Structure 1
Amino acid sequence: MRTLASFAAPPLLLLAGTGSASAHVKWFCTYDVAGQPRGLEQVLCTDFEWLTGLALVCLMVGCLAEGTPLGTALLNALDRVTSRIRTDTELLVRCTLGFFLVSLWGLGGIILTPELKTDASWISWLQLAMATCLIWRRTMPLTGLGIAFLYGFATAQYGFFHLADYPVFLGVAAYLVLSGLGISPLGLRPLDLVRYAAAVTLMWASVEKWAYPEWTAPLLAAKPQMTMGASPELFMQSAGVIEFTLAFSLIWTPLVRRVAALILTGIFISAVFEFGKVDAIGHSGIIVVLLGIAADDARRAVRIRDVVAAPAWFGGALAAFLALYYLGHEVLFGTAIIQGSWPVI
């Protein structure tokens, strides 16, 4: 059995500079959504348990720190550093989405995200019109409705399971509609809705890293430095656990989610240097959303129950997403959830 240090090193190195955790593999490699995913008995191995345990310890430490003077000082520092982003969050979202939609129009033949190809020429012009609507606040809801329509159109073309990778688009659509109309249904701010959607998107994507690590094999073969000495197997497990933990953190306490948003922003931006223009365009929307989350100064009192409840909620979210992914895949494509026998732990 490996030592704890051997499991701690890959995640720490991964956070230091790799873009593999954030590059969307479907944009760069061959994939088969209907193919047989790796069996759960292979995913839920000893390495996975160590990595998940380490991630949970980090989450609980973050929660503990939040209720201390150090946590308050960090929140105050974040408030000062991100004040301009907080003031101009909506403007930044509009400008970034405008860049994103104009880029899609220029590339042509794409529905919202690089691997969703289409021969319908009118989609490019619709996306240009949606970008134009972002110029005025009153027409922002039209862009939001356009994004929701294109998401539904892509779902009809590519299937529900494929588009389950991208609920963040629905969150962005809700943000634009609600911000443009100036409403907060049930007390939920537009930024809260897009934050939840981003968390769901990234947690789903992390499960895909465990289910289909072979999709990333060509990237790791072409850029072996990304693994930083770890085996491809351990690297992909680490990447998935880090992404899932940071995504879960987006729905947790204020300091934890703001720090997680900053780390994710750094990872996504670093991926641009590794993977270039396609990655910059494809991830521009989620990057600006993460910046808005990092700048959000909404606070609430952090109680000991937040720390105590963290393992249960984290474990429940992990189990729920694994179940949704594998059961959904079995229902839609008839694949087996478990291959062979369960490992002895």
Structure 2
Amino acid sequence: MFLFAKSIAGFSFCILGTRAASAHVKWFSAYDVASQPRGLENVLCQEFELLLGVALLCIFSGCVVERTSLGEMITRSLNRFTEGLLLHTETMIRAICGFFFISLWAVGGILLTPELKTTSALVGPLQLAIAAGLLSRRTTPLSAAGIVVLFGLAVRDYGAFHLADYPIFLGLAAYLALTGLQKNLFGVQPLDVVRYATAVTLMWASVEKWAYPEWSFPLLIEHPGITLGFNNEFYMRAAGMVEFTLAFALAWTPLVRRVAAAVLVEMFISACFEFGKLDVIGHSAIIVVFVAILSDQRPKETDTPAAWLAPVGLCAALTATLLAYYVGHAAIFNTTIL
């Protein structure tokens, strides 16, 4: 009973106040992608299972509320609050992405994120060209191609497994190309493409918090208030579960994903105050995607899945992501899974 109460408290407090869950640990602490991760028998402990139980209850409750008059009231409130943002979603994304690439050029020596260093003299001009292309819808497909080139260079230099942290950049490239060409991707709207890419990005990052919690321990020592009084091991389990649940919610039904986006906006912006301008620059692109998802007022799907399918989907997504991470890591780096 004590562990269950602790899990509820940890999950709730992490949603309300976590910052380490939003800061990308590779930007601030030493890491080794090829090192042996925590075995699955260590990750899938009793605390993890209880946190998962709380997550399943939360996602199920959110789906139930969405179908009620309270859910309709929340939707109307969100619509009023985000109406101005909705009218300028594309411009907003292009502007923030432009800021992001100009910032990378100004800092210098970075491909896409702070830990992806480069000495190539061509990267800076390419980043400026990407930013310039975002000034007009007609040239955004060229900017999208430039982002793909940078992503390819990062894969060449750092490997596919490391870049599995960042499918959001491919999602943004797809969004920019599709909006510039005024097309969908096999019937999928451009915003939905980047929304799914963002969900995958955060789910993968969540597993890293369980596989390598020790990477974050120096940050927690330097910023002790982040843990909210919980021990570091439990806090990282809770932070990872919160992030995974919110990431999964981004791929679910309209109100659930909009509420998840609102929580993620708060988490990532609060992390910027804690970790400074590096975090502001590095996370600006993902924050604007959260704002776009929050502002999305498209009509509710007529074929909304039953509420009980959300916990099933969350378990399936968690199982698939854990297996993909550990099996992929073992295959590439010759590490063990258990």
TM-score band, normalised by the shorter chain?
Answer: over 0.9
Alignment of 1:131-142 (within 5 A): 131-142=131-142
C-alpha contact (below 8 Å) 2:18/2:239 kept by paired residues = no
Contact 2:25 2:215 in 1 (8 A): yes
Alignment of 1:259-278 (within 5 A): 259-278=259-278
How far did 1:3 drift? Answer: 3.6
Does structure 1 conserve the Cα–Cα contact (< 8 Å) formed by 2:3 and 2:50? no
* 1:298-325 deviation line (CA, Å, top 9, x unaligned): 2334778421211221111000000000
Gap runs ≥5 in structure 2: none
Q: Is the 8 A contact 1:108 1:121 kept in 2?
A: no
1:49-68 equivalent positions in 2, closer than 5 A: 49-68=49-68
The 1-side partners of 2:21 and 2:263 are apart by 12
Q: Give the conservation status (yes or no) of the 8 Å contact 2:11–2:54.
A: no
1:215-237 CA deviation, whole Å, 9 max, x = no partner? 00110111111111101000000
Work out whether residues 21 and 239 of structure 1, in 8 Å CA contact, stay in contact via their aligned partners in 2: yes
Amino acid at match of 1:310: A
1:314 counterpart residue number: 314
Aligned to 2:128: 128
Q: Tell me, what secondary structure is at the counterpart of 2:315?
A: helix
Contact 1:165/1:204 (CA < 8 Å) preserved in 2?
yes
- 8 A Cα contact 2:258 2:293, kept in partner: yes
Residues 135 and 326 of structure 1: is their aligned pair in 2 closer, same or farther, counting only changes over 3 Å? same
Cα distance in 1, alignment partners of residues 59 and 193 from structure 2? 22
Distance in 2, matches of 1:186 and 1:78, equals 29
> Given residue 287 of structure 2, which amino acid in structure 1 is its aligned partner?
I
1:113 paired to 2:113? yes
Cα separation, 2, equivalents of 1:105 and 1:222: 29
Which residue of structure 2 lines up, in the alignment, with residue 179 of structure 1?
A: 179
Provide, for residues 115-146 of structure 1, a one-character-per-residue CA deviation record: whole Å limited to 9, x for no partner: 00001021011101110111111001111111
Counterpart of 2:257 in structure 1 is 257
Distance 1:195 1:114 in 2: 23
Q: Is the 8 A contact 2:65 2:71 kept in 1?
A: yes
Match of 1:96 in 2: 96
| CA RMSD, Structure 1 to Structure 2 (Å) | 1.1
Distance 1:189 1:118, change over 3 A: same
Q: Matches of 2:58 and 2:304 in 1, distance apart?
A: 16
Contact 1:168–1:197 (Cα < 8 Å) also in 2: yes
* 1:265-303, Cα deviation, whole Å (9 max, x unpaired): 110000000000000000000000010000101233477
Letter in 1 for 2:175: Y
User: C-alpha deviations, 1:39-88, integer Å up to 9, x for none?
Assistant: 00000000000001101100000000111111111111111110111110
Secondary structure of the residue aligned to 1:306 is coil
Contact 1:67 1:302 in 2 (8 A): no
Q: Which residue of 2 aligns with 1:215?
A: 215
Q: If the length of structure 1 is used for normalisation, what is the TM-score?
A: 0.96
3-state SS of paired residue (2:216): helix
306-315 or 235-244: which moved more?
306-315
Q: Cα offset for 1:185? A: 2.6
Match of 2:238 in 1: 238
What residue in structure 1 maps to residue 162 of structure 2?
A: 162
- More displaced, 22-31 or 292-301? 292-301
Indicate if the aligned counterparts of 2:253 and 2:304 stay in contact, CA closer than 8 A.
no
User: What residue in structure 2 maps to residue 77 of structure 1?
Assistant: 77
CA–CA distance in 2 between the matches of 1:306 and 1:33?
Answer: 39
Contact 1:220 1:227 in 2 (8 A): yes
Deviations 1:193-218 (A, max 9, x none): 00000000000000000000000011
How far is 1:337 from its partner?
Answer: 0.3
State the number of aligned residues. Answer: 338
**How high is the TM-score relative to the length of structure 2?**
0.98
- Counterpart of 2:290 in structure 1 is 290
Q: Could you tell me the percent identity over the aligned residues?
A: 54
Unaligned runs of 5+ in 1: 339-345
Aligned to 2:13: 13
Contact 1:51-1:238 within 8 A present in 2 as well: yes
Distance 1:309 1:14 in 2: 25
